[in-house]
Structure 1
Amino acid sequence: MKYIKYKKVTGMGGIVALGWLIFTTAVAVSQRKLIFKPVRSREVEHPHSIGHRSRLIALRSIDGTRLSGWLLTPRVPGPHPAVVYFGGRSEEVSWVARDAWRMFPNMTVLAINYRGYGDSEGVPGEQKMIEDAQMLFDWFAEHRHILAGQIAVVGRSLGSGVAVQIAVSRPVAAVVLITPYDSVLALAKRRFPSIPGFVLKHRFDSVKHAPSLSAPAFIIRAATDDVVPASHTDLLVAKLTTTPQDETIPGSDHYNIPYLEATQQRIAEFLTAKFKKAPESAD
């Protein structure tokens, strides 16, 4: 009788283990689809900023992949401070060109779609996205219309993980993080607690890089966020060695927050103030 019970227990254990193995394997195989949601169609068909000259550009990554997006130059003669924008998981960035006049006034803006998004070639992945972002920053820094040492990075949701890594590897003047998280791994384990950490390849481990972030930072939270809970933003903020500006936008959620006038005005105010201080701090 005891032997029969033992066989039942071990049999159930084997089934559970097999189920866990199948689940883990499925996550490992499909993780790219879980983390990235490429959007090909333009959010704004004919993006145009009333305060900028809007130019559709294509740049080549280090491995030759074609990346497409927009270069927005203020109509007032420069040079100007500048911003590189990194979008979210399911975001095509043409809307940035439309709203740049309010969000980035008198700033030159580079908004390029990730690999596989918009008209950009390739397949998205953390390592290549970081390499591409570094290439974009370096290309931008050499642009003749950019004020030396005055390039900020702005990252929304998934893009906050890109912005953090650029901010610790390049001399950024400021960093704006919209609905940022501690790591994609932590968010994944919150939803699927049984996932072993080694399975996830694209971790965007911002909390690991946070202690090295020295640039002035602006954390922008949504009033209601069911994608990045406040506790995950708190964990990131706690690791920063400098106290960031930290605000919650009333009436916002994870999806509408970048489009709200209040969000765009707060970003404009923060960056304008930091850029004005940049020449004094450089002396």
Structure 2
Amino acid sequence: MRIILFIAVVIFLLFLSIRFLEKKSLYFPLQKIESTPQDTGLDYEEVFVTTKDGVQISAWFIPSGEPRATILFSHGNGGNISHRIEKMKTLNDLDLNIFIFDYRGYGMSKGNPSEEGLYLDAEAAYDYLVNEKKIPAGKIIGYGESLGGAVIIDLAGKRELGGVIIEGSFSSIRDMAKKYFPFIPPFVFKSSFNSFEKIKSIKSPKLHFHAVSDETVPFELGKKLFDNALEPKEFVLLQGGHNDSFLISQDVFITGIDLFLDNL
């Protein structure tokens, strides 16, 4: 009996340790805002939105004079919105409004990050654009960077989007876990971020970017996600790694988005 109890305690402690490891390996929030769009000459509006579960999240709205569309930007799992300003400027130069928000627990947003929480954050950001900014749903393009790709794919299954752009994202957390923690059964992970299944039902046009030498999200997981997506879709290969491909392949990146917008 004591042996059984001991084994049960060990399994329970192991389970708790895995859950702790999961959260620490998924979210790397920073609270300090290092800079603002104004530092690169961009006009912007600071916005605070409340999610349906009562969490206040922060965001920036960066306008364009004659916008082709509005980008709803869901960033990756590290840093905060202030670490994406260079990318925001590149997108804004393509005559795009940008609405970039921080997940709960990131930047000036309240609360703590979780899978369901991130989904609610994106829904609140989208609803703000439609209800407060009066932007037509068909003129909103969801842009998901890395983990943000899973957030935007989930949103696209719940809200109308004119298009979806995915940069360096993965098929699911369990697929990622097989790569990083092959000794742990995937089913014990609480988070799923199962984009592989969700993307099958998204009819909006899709543009996928992935770096061939991505050291964080394996290229094959990005390709697996793309292959399961419905048409119309386009895959653009970038050079470089997970965090520098945008800079190394900037011309390819800009051309890819420009053509995508022209075809919407």
With the shorter chain as reference, the TM-score category is 0.7 to 0.9
Q: Please name the residue that 1:85 is paired with.
A: 73
TM-score, scaled relative to structure 1: 0.81
Match of 1:185 among 174, 183, 189: 174
Amino acid at match of 1:83: I
Q: In 1, are the aligned partners of 2:177 and 2:186 still within 8 Å (CA)? A: no
Paired with 1:38 and 1:235, the residues of 2 have a C-alpha distance of 28
1:48 aligns with 2:38: yes
Q: Could you say if the C-alpha distance between residues 17 and 63 of structure 1 is closer, same or farther in structure 2, counting changes exceeding 3 Å? A: closer
Name 1:122's counterpart in structure 2: 111
For 2:252 and 2:125, locate their aligned partners in 1 and report how far apart those are by CA, in whole Å: 25
User: Which residue is equivalent to 2:158?
Assistant: 169
Distance in 2 between residues matched to 1:110 and 1:153, nearest whole Å = 10
Match of residue 73, structure 1, among 57, 63, 82:
63
1:27 is the counterpart of 2:47: no
In the aligned structure 1, how far is the partner of 2:40 from the partner of 2:257?
16
Q: Which amino acid aligns with 1:232?
A: L
Code of the residue aligned with 2:56 in structure 1: it is R
Which residue does 1:241 correspond to in 2?
Answer: 230
* Contact 1:50–1:101 (8 Å) recurs in 2: yes
Aligned residues: 259
Give the structure 2 partner of residue 281 of structure 1: none
Root mean square deviation, CA, Å: 2.7
- Contact between 2:137 and 2:162, CA under 8 Å: does it hold in 1? no
- The two structures have a TM-score, normalised by structure 2, of 0.86
Work out whether residues 51 and 100 of structure 1, in 8 Å CA contact, stay in contact via their aligned partners in 2: no
Q: Which residues of structure 1 form unaligned runs of 5+?
A: 1-10, 278-283
**Percent of residue pairs identical:** 22
- 8 Å Cα contact 2:119-2:154 kept in structure 1: yes
Q: Which runs of 5+ in 2 are unaligned?
A: none
What displacement does 1:151 show? Answer: 0.4
Q: Is the 8 A contact 2:75 2:147 kept in 1?
A: yes
**Preserved contact between residue 49 and residue 124 of structure 2 (Cα < 8 Å):** no
Alpha-carbon shift at residue 52 of structure 1 (Å) = 4.8
Q: Residues of 2 paired with 1:79 and 1:99: CA distance?
A: 17
Instruction: Choose 1 or 2 for highest CA Rg.
Output: 1
For residues 46 and 52 of structure 1, what CA distance do their matches in structure 2 show?
9
Give the 3 Å change call, closer, same or farther, for CA 85–22 of structure 1 in structure 2: same
